[in-house]
Amino acid sequence: MADSTYEQALVNFRVVVVGAGFITGIGGLSTAVALANRGHSVLVLESTPKLLHVGAGVALPPPTRKWFESEGVLQIDDPVCVPWDGIEIRKWDSGDLVIQTASNPLGKQTAIHHGDLQLALLARAQQLEDKIEIRLGVRVADVDLSSSPNAVILANGERIQGDLIIAADGVKSTLKSKICPPEAAKPTSTGEAAYRFTLPRELLEADEELLSLVDRPWGIRWDGPDAHVVAYPVRGHKLLNLVLIHPDDGQAAESWTTVSDKKNVIADFQGWNSTLTKLIDLAPSAIPNFRMFLYPPAPVWVKGSTILLGDACHAMLPYLGQGVAQAVEDATAIAAVLSAVKNKEQLPFALWAYQVSRKERVDQIQAATYKAREKLHLKDGAAQAARDLERKLAAEKNQNTDVSKMQQAYWAWDAAKVATTALTERIAAMGA
C-alpha cells in the first residue's frame, strides 16, 4: 500500500503505463512506483511474457541512487550495488594510468547490473500491489487520442482508458508516432556499436591483476582511437562488467540479443593493452553486440492526455551515462505535477509543466552526449597526448575535465521542484 512517508496526491488518477522495461528501460516501472507511492492507481502493460535478465551494468549518479532509495527500490547498503571511489582513466595501448577522477561533493556513482535493478523495481511494485497492477504478454497496438479520456488499444482489440496514458515503451515505441511526426522516430546510425559482457569473479581469481578489477571499487576506462572500453564491478563485486564501444561493421542490430563471434572482438581490439586482451580471452564465445543509433529530440512529448517518457522521447547514447538518470527525472517530474494538481481539470496544466520542465534539459544532454564521444575516440596520437595532459593538469588541481566534468555537471538538478514551479506558474497564468 501507499506509504505515509510520501506526500499523498490531492487527486488520485488512474494511470496506464505502456512498457515495464522488462527487456531494456526502467522508466515505466520507476514511474509506476513513484505514482503508487503517492496514492495513484497504475496499470502497467508489458508486451513480454516475463522479465528477461538481460543488459549489462549501469552507473547511477548519486541523485539517481538516492531517488531509488527514497522510493523503496534500493536499500542504503544494498548488496547488489557497488559504490565507486571514482574512475581511473588509462592509456588504451600501454594501460598506464592517466588520472583518477576527482571526487564530487554530491556523492559517489553506484554500479548495478541492469537486471538487478529491474528485479528491485519489480519487487517494489509487487509491494505496492494494491496500487499497481502489471499485465504481462499484452501488446499495445494503438492509442485513441480522440476519446476522453484517452485509451490504449490492445492487439486483441481491447480498449483500456486511463486519466493519463504514459508511453514508456522504449526506443522502438509504438505510440511515439501517434504523438510526434514520423521523422521524429527515424534514427541515424552513429557508426558505432557496443560489445557487452560480464565475467564472474571466479574466472578472474587465477590472475591477481584481473581479480583487482572486480575487487576494487573503481571504474576503469581506456580511451582509444575510434573506440573506448569501460570495466567495473557489479552485483556486490561478484561480476566484472565490460562495455567495449567500437566502429560498427554492420553485423550488429539495435537489440540486446544480437551476438557477435569473439574473434571479431579480438580483431577490433588488437594492439590494445594486455589487461584488456586477457579479459577478452576470458569472454564467452558469443558476445552481445548492440548497434547504437542517434534519435532526434522528440518535438512533442504530450498529446491529449498521453505523454512520452524515457527512451520513447529521449533515447540516450552511453557516453555520459545519463539514460537511467534522465528516465528517473521524467518519473520524478510527472509524479510531482500529477500529485500537486487540485482537481482533474488541471491535468492539462500538469502535462504542460512536465514537458516544459524536461524537454530543454534532455535535448541539451542528448546533444552533449553525442559530442562527448569526440573526446573519447580521438584518432591522432598528438591529440590524445594533448587531451591526456589537459586531464592531468586538471587532476593536479583536484578538478575534472572533458567527459567526467560533463557528466557531473548534470547531477545537480531538482526535477520535482522545476516541474512543480512550472505548474504553479502555468496555473497562475491561466487564472485556474
Is 240 within 8 Å of 281 (Cβ atoms)?
Answer: no
- Measured CA to CA, the distance from residue 423 to residue 432 in angstroms comes to 11
- Give the end-to-end CA distance of the chain in Å, rounded to a whole number: 32
Of 134, 119, 125, give the one whose Cα is nearest residue 47: 134
- Measured CA to CA, the distance from residue 87 to residue 59 in angstroms comes to 11
Quick one: cell of 171?
A: 526506443
Burial degree of 182 (CB within 10 A; 0-12, 13-18, 19+): exposed
Cα-based distances in Å from 133 to 15, 136, 224, 337 = 11, 10, 47, 22
- Measured CA to CA, the distance from residue 164 to residue 354 in angstroms comes to 13
Say which DSSP state 183 is in: G
**DSSP codes, 191-209:** EEEEEEEEEEHHHHTT-HH
Q: At what angle do helices 323-338 and 347-376 cross, to 10 degrees?
A: 170
14 is known as an active-site residue: no
Catalytic hit among 38, 90, 196, 358: 196
Instruction: Please give the positions annotated as active site.
Output: 196
